[in-house]
Amino acid sequence: MNAVLALENGRWFRGDSVGAEGETTGEVVFNTSMTGYQEVLTDPSYSGQLVTMTCPHIGNYGVTSEDIESRGPQVAGFVMRAHSPIASNWRASGTLQEYLRDHRVVAISGIDTRALTRVLRTSGAMRGALATGTVDPQDLVTRARNAPTMEGCDLVQGVTCAEPFEWDPSTDRGSIGFELQPERRTKQRLRIAAYDYGMKRNILRRFSAYDCDVTVFPAATPASDLLATRPDGVFLSNGPGDPAPLDYAIDNARALVDSGVPTFGICLGHQILGQAMGASTYKLKFGHRGGNHPVKNLHTGRVEITSQNHGFAIDADSVPNDIEITHTNLYDGTVEGLRHKTRPVFCVQYHPEASPGPHDADYLFSLFLHEMDDTPLGSSVSAR
């Protein structure tokens, strides 16, 4: 069956439908990772996005329930150069195409993803419409132009949990998050209260590997409810979309900063903490999505190869004097880490839990443990 992807700037691409039949809209972005398509599909941070994989061959190792990062696929649509109709992996429980169809994900294959990526790099991420069957490309262009913009949208409410819950690693079939040995163990089991803005499961797996017990709370839960559980620390997760309209999350994060409880944020959690501490955010031209982004630790001078997935960033010029920029992206100089100078609060834009991905940044979990153990390290993000 035919499929067409149309962009709001009038460009369109015709290919083959390899997922569910139907139509979908969203922001068209690209990811440069060579592997990890199932983790990408199930990462809630991709909610509302039509994700293009720049690696030309996708699906060759199939899919497995052990590698999902949430309850199922979260992307608005999926775009590939060439999908594999077979799964060559002993772990595979099925093919990618079967997985896409079973989970009602509209997907297209057989288009020139290099050309598409060049358009997005030149013009920036833009709205798109993807449809299967007999469709008029110009009609799809119009639908793309009428789709909601990413700016100003609260996508968190569509991916956060409905009720608080205790994370039980024994009920999770994933294993990757437990394979990497943690850098240190806690003096005693520590209790973490975590805000779920669209949290990846591998974050929870890493906390479990570090001997932490985690209670997960919906995104709009008042900070007072989390603090009432007397956690050793609070974690702010990754998530989709624009942080600016998330007033409830920013207000809660501000209360956490004022409380003095050790607080750690990743990705969207980093942006929310940044705004809570007085900084502002802006939309990147085409975002950072991939598994090979170099980030420099400004204290140690070390460079970490990181996994990233975000379309917004902290404005470096807006960072207040009591906040320190700790990490920067070596591709474009954007802010990749912040730390409060007098309170146990720090955050990073990238993903130290990345699965699959480099493990250069896993030490950040250890630093959070140091904060919760009240170990006098000075500037935690500079110690390693």
The H or E element containing residue 312 is: strand 303-314
Q: Alpha-carbon distance 231 to 190, whole Å?
A: 8
Tell whether the torsion through CA atoms of 160, 323, 264 and 45 is positive or negative: positive
Among the listed residues 267, 310, 327, 371, the single catalytic one is 267
Catalytically annotated residue among 83, 270, 327, 351: 351
Q: List for the chain the helix, strand, coil content (%; round to 5).
A: 25, 30, 45
Q: What is the 3-state secondary structure (H, E, C) of 342-379?
A: CCCEEEECCECCCCCCCCCCCHHHHHHHHHHCCCCCCC
Whether the link from the prior residue into 356 is cis, omega within 30° of 0, is yes
Looking at this protein, which amino acid is placed at residue 213? D
Does residue 47 contact residue 159 with C-beta atoms inside 8 Å? Answer: yes
Q: Token digits for 374?
A: 């009240």
The residue from 304, 336, 353, 371 that is catalytic is 353
Residues 131 and 107 sit within 8 Å (Cβ to Cβ): no
Q: Take residue 37 and report the two structure tokens written for it.
A: 């398509």
- Measured CA to CA, the distance from residue 172 to residue 193 in angstroms comes to 19
CB 249 within 8 A of CB 197: yes
Is residue 267 annotated as part of the catalytic site, yes or no? yes
- Please indicate whether residue 351 is annotated as part of the active site: yes
Annotated catalytic residues are 267, 351, 353
